[in-house]
């Protein structure tokens, strides 16, 4: 029976809101007529059968309640969220209805038909009982069915106070979360009840343990300082529970706490410089009406390249990524845009390390331009897995370049990084070696790569685009700092003097496309990213943007502390964008072409051949290291600072 009612409930939920309002109105009309019949039957002490004249009163009872019910919003409120205020509105509407019914009754009584006067008193009482009972019953049934029909996450609220009570009340009708208990450190509250939930001490939570079915602990202690909240969070996490901190509603309204889960940071303010505006004519010239392929399409840069390609008129967008989850998300996001722009959208799962897979995709779609953004980019991870980094960043790049060359792709753009300049990490070294490969391919007229049966006349324009850190990309400092602020701090900074070049995700993707439009072959384009930014200054801007203050020795009561942790292996104190000083201007004022040494393709292929069988922990061979000026850094200060 409950399962059947649950199905009916889901069906009702699927109906438009006005349909549900009409159904509720029809029920109230039936209740008005039934209340009139019941009033007559009680008054006459018999089963009442209305005559023709009495039917007028029945019709009136089905209509007279509508104006006050509409006026007091009884058909606007949602049943499952009805509360004291909704009950108050219902009682006022019933009171007005009683008065109106009495007036209509008196008017009809004077016209001729005689009605028992007690009906005018009994009908509003019975009607009120029916309305209140039906609302309460529906509210209870809906809430019960919501609980039966949902896989709830069980929540414990730490803080038996007004905020905790608000949270519990808000989640009462939730389909995803359910409060099961409160925790409070005040012993006087232990064993008490808040709402309908029991209050326990912290020991109860510790005894319950992480193997229980408690999914999360919400800290509802609005008056805690950030440092105290951070300590409490650590304490609860030590018990084995996931923790979230809920700010006070007053803080949210006043703007004291302004961070949203999606991030509320203005890139312009964080950069402390204006965002570079794109040359739209250059953008359209590059992608409009063309078949565009993007590798790493689910990543931060790759996904933005996909968005920009569709925005500027690509005829067909092929998204390549090895992550099914990311590829699905991008397809869901971009499909409506592709339909609106009358563009084709083709998601393809593929790993750039598998040459045959890339050749198959290239042969299928014959793209006009390829943006190669797939890479392993996190320095500590690649430092711990150098062979994997080389396999993807270096040989994966050569695979996709070979497949593009064989398919007759018009332009191939390699997305590089400032970490490739005089690299101190294996990630930077792998990207620098890939840059040299793209240069070599771009400078040769006839190309023969390993596995190619015959040399191929180069018809593809190869180029690379180099830039620094991208704000809010996955794994970058902005999302890390955001989570640390939400957790109450501290913000971890590697070195007080560490600097990085930063730019926003859209401007990075736009400048990559514009650079591609200007390529003639073999260039390494460098994007103007302004002056380098101290990481610690960025951290302070984010603390200020959240409406908080930094905790220092001079301000021990501040909200968020900054902790210096030291540079990790492979990390530099300062990054660079160019090798040497010679930069050639382009038609775009914010893009230059770096004139840097290159290696002939035959020598290059001989140089990197030993890396194909690189041992997982093998250091970079000396001859390769000297060519790319590789100097590994395992210290807190890099060699540039030491000089």
Q: How is 489-542 classified by DSSP, letter by letter?
A: -PEEES-TT-EE-EEEHHHHHHHHHHHHHH--SSEEEEE---S-EEHHHHHHHH
Q: What are the extents of the domains in the chain?
A: 2-148, 153-254, 285-470+502-529+575-626
Partnered with residue 524 across adjacent β-strands are 464, 594
Give the residue from 286, 479, 439, 431 showing the smallest Cα distance to 371.
286
Tell me 477's DSSP state.
Answer: H
The predicted structure's pLDDT at residue 4: 47
Say how far apart CA 19 and CA 75 lie, in whole Å: 11
Q: Do domains 153-254 and 285-470+502-529+575-626 have the same CATH topology?
A: yes
Residues counted in the chain: 643
The pair of structure tokens assigned to 84 is 């004291």
Q: Which of 184-193, 358-367, 414-423 has the highest mean pLDDT?
A: 358-367
Say how far apart CA 36 and CA 32 lie, in whole Å: 6
- Return the SS3 of 596: coil
Say how far apart CA 605 and CA 214 lie, in whole Å: 57
Residue 252 has pLDDT above 80, yes or no: no
Residue pair 195/166 in contact (Cβ under 8 Å)? The answer is no
The class of domain 285-470+502-529+575-626 in CATH terms is: alpha beta
Residue pair 168/161 in contact (Cβ under 8 Å)? The answer is no
Higher pLDDT, 589 or 10: 589
Helices (H), ranges, 226-342: 226-238, 249-254, 267-271, 280-287, 300-311, 324-340
The predicted structure's pLDDT at residue 175: 63
The predicted structure's pLDDT at residue 2: 45
Tell me 187's DSSP state.
Answer: G
Say how far apart CA 97 and CA 554 lie, in whole Å: 66
The predicted structure's pLDDT at residue 76: 64
Conformational region of residue 86, where left means phi above 0, alpha means psi within -120 to 50, and beta covers everything else: alpha
Give the residue from 107, 116, 142, 137 showing the smallest Cα distance to 37.
116
Kindly state the percentage of the chain with pLDDT values over 70: 84
Beta strand pairing status for 461-466 and 523-527? parallel
Q: What is the mean pLDDT of the chain?
A: 81
Model pTM score: 0.62
Mean pLDDT lowest among 54-68, 283-297, 469-483: 469-483
Q: Which of 1-15, 204-218, 362-376 has the highest mean pLDDT?
A: 362-376
Residue 49 has pLDDT above 60, yes or no: yes
Residue pair 243/475 in contact (Cβ under 8 Å)? The answer is no
For 404-420, how does the pLDDT look when each residue is reduced to its tens digit (9 = 90+)?
999 999 999 999 998 98
The pair of structure tokens assigned to 567 is 């540079």
What is the CATH T-level fold of the domain 153-254, as seen in this structure?
Rossmann fold (3.40.50)
């Amino acid at each position: 029976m409950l399962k059947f009612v649950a199905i009916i409930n889901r069906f009702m939920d699927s109906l438009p809101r006005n349909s549900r309002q009409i159904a509720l109105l029809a029920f109230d009309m039936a209740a008005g007529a039934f209340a009139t019949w019941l009033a007559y039957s009680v008054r006459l002490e018999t089963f009442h059968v209305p005559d023709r004249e009495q039917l007028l009163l029945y019709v009136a009872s089905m209509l007279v309640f509508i104006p006050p019910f509409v006026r007091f919003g009884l058909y606007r409120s949602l049943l499952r969220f009805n509360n004291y205020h909704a009950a108050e509105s219902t009682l006022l509407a019933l009171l007005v209805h009683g008065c109106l019914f009495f007036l209509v009754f008196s008017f009809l009584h004077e016209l001729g038909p005689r009605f028992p006067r007690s009906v005018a008193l009994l009908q509003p009482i019975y009607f009120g009982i029916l309305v209140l009972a039906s609302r309460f019953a529906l509210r209870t049934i809906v809430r019960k069915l919501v609980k039966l029909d949902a896989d709830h996450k069980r929540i414990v609220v730490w803080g038996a106070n007004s905020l905790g009570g608000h949270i519990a009340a808000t989640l009462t009708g939730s389909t995803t979360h359910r409060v099961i208990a409160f925790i409070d450190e005040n012993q006087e509250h232990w064993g008490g009840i808040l709402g309908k939930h029991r209050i326990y001490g912290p020991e109860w939570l510790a005894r319950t343990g992480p193997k229980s079915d408690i999914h999360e602990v919400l800290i509802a202690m609005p008056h805690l300082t950030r440092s105290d909240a951070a300590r409490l969070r650590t304490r609860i996490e030590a018990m084995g529970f996931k923790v979230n901190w809920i700010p006070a509603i007053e803080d949210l309204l006043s703007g004291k706490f302004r961070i949203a889960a999606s991030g509320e940071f203005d890139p312009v303010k964080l950069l402390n410089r204006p965002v570079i505006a794109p040359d739209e004519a250059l953008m359209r010239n590059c992608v409009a009406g063309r078949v565009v392929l993007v590798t790493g399409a689910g990543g931060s840069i790759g996904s933005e390249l996909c968005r920009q390609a569709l925005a500027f008129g690509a005829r067909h967008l092929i998204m390549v990524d090895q992550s099914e989850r990311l590829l699905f998300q991008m397809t869901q996001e971009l499909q409506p845009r592709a339909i609106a722009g009358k563009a084709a959208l083709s998601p393809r799962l593929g790993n750039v390390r598998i040459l045959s897979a890339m050749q198959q995709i290239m042969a299928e779609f014959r793209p006009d331009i390829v943006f190669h953004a797939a890479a392993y980019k996190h320095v500590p991870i690649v430092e711990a897995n150098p062979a994997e980094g080389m396999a993807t960043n270096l040989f994966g790049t050569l695979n996709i370049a070979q497949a593009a060359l064989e398919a007759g792709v018009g332009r191939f753009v390699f997305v590089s990084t400032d970490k490739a300049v005089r690299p101190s990490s294996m990630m930077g070294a792998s990207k620098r070696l890939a840059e040299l490969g793209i240069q070599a391919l771009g400078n040769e007229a006839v190309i023969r790569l390993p596995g190619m049966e015959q040399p191929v006349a180069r018809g593809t324009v190869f180029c690379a685009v180099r830039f620094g850190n991208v704000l809010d990309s996955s794994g970058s400092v902005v999302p890390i700092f955001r989570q640390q602020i939400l957790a109450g701090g501290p913000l971890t900074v590697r070195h007080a003097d560490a600097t990085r070049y930063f730019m926003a995700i859209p401007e990075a993707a736009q400048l990559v496309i514009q650079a591609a439009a200007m390529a003639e072959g073999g260039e390494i384009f460098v994007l103007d990213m302004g002056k380098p930014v101290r990481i610690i200054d960025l951290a302070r801007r984010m603390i200020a943007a959240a409406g908080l203050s930094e905790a220092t020795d001079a301000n021990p009561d501040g909200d968020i502390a900054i902790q210096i942790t030291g540079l990790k292996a492979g990390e530099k104190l300062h990054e660079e964008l160019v090798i040497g000083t010679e930069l050639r201007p382009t038609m775009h004022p914010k893009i230059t072409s770096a004139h840097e040494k290159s290696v002939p393709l035959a020598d290059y292929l001989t140089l990197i051949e030993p890396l194909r069988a690189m041992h997982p922990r093998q250091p970079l061979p000396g001859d390769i290291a000297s060519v790319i000026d590789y100097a590994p850094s395992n210290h807190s200060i890099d060699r540039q600072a030491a000089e």
